[in-house]
Amino acid sequence: MTIQVGVTGWGDHDKLYTDPKERQQKLKTYSTHFDVVEVDTSFYAIQPMSNYEKWTAETPAHFSFVIKAHQDMTGQSRKKMTRAEAASLFEAFLSSIQPVIEADKLAAILFQFPPWFKVEKASIDRLRYIRALTKGLPVAIEFRHQSWYTEAYRKQTLNLLQELEFIHTVCDEPQAGSGSVPAVPVATNEEMTLVRFHGRNVHGWNQHGREDWRKVRFLYRYNEEELKEWQASAARLEQSCKRVLLLFNNNSGGDASDNAKEMMQLLGHKLPDPPPEQLHLF
């Protein structure tokens, strides 16, 4: 049983990179701070296999990746595809990540569904089709429409994830209408549960009309009390699965890496030693 902490992406966390050399080797430096990272560039474009070869080579053996599924695979792009086109897309995506799989560094493929992906037959059929195309691989499912967790459907949702051997992605986010989900810390896969921290900026969550809405949405810093609540929840999840991954996505104000480090301290994890120059301050 283990709990691991990381953040989404490794490029935008400036506090982790204190000198020019570290900024040139961000992932290598990142892997001295955390054991897991979320790859989000794969959501916007299928990455070349060479990228994954490079990333696996410059991270230690125990390091792992949560790789976000391409937006066409989740319906976020609203692109219409035939079954043959969808199968071809999945084949291209899965082929690209083979270096991570072969290096035994794949924690999960994360399918983050759009806010309009609600409980209905077509959605359930899509989930079953995704599982057929990803058979044998660790797949994490993140819902963003509240219908999946209403009193009428919550138990059925969790049962479906368990039936399909999907990893439940638990979200900590603002409760701001149908396009947000409550935190439901329940494991549906004995191997892993994923928790993603999006912040609690309720006023910024639905600001899609603003040009900078992405920055506003994730502008939040968790306080110690909030982190302690999740420390307890993570410990309970750990009793139901072998591995719990906590990923902080609240980086609009540069808070994700700080909150991740604070969570590691609460969990009793060893933090990396400070740079040598800091050792001689006193």
- Residue 223 sits in a domain of what CATH number? 3.20.20.410
The CA distance from 235 to 238, in Å, is 5
| Per-residue pLDDT at 147 | 96
* Contact yes or no for 266/228 (Cβ under 8 A): yes
What DSSP state is assigned to residue 207?
A: -
Which structural domain, as residue segments, surrounds residue 27? Answer: 2-280
What tokens appear for 238 in the block? Answer: 């750990």
Residue 71: which H helix or E strand, with range?
Answer: helix 71-74
Q: pTM of the prediction?
A: 0.91
| Per-residue pLDDT at 252 | 85
Q: Return the closest-CA partner of residue 198 out of 238, 142, 149, 265.
A: 142
The CA distance from 202 to 217, in Å, is 8
Structurally, the chain folds into a number of domains equal to: 1
Q: What is the mean pLDDT of each run of 10 residues along the chain (282 residues)?
A: 93 87 88 96 97 97 97 90 91 98 98 96 96 97 96 97 98 85 97 96 66 70 97 96 97 92 94 56 42
The CA distance from 174 to 183, in Å, is 10
| Per-residue pLDDT at 279 | 45
The CA distance from 121 to 171, in Å, is 23
| Per-residue pLDDT at 145 | 95
Q: What are phi and psi of 70, to 5 degrees?
A: -60, 145
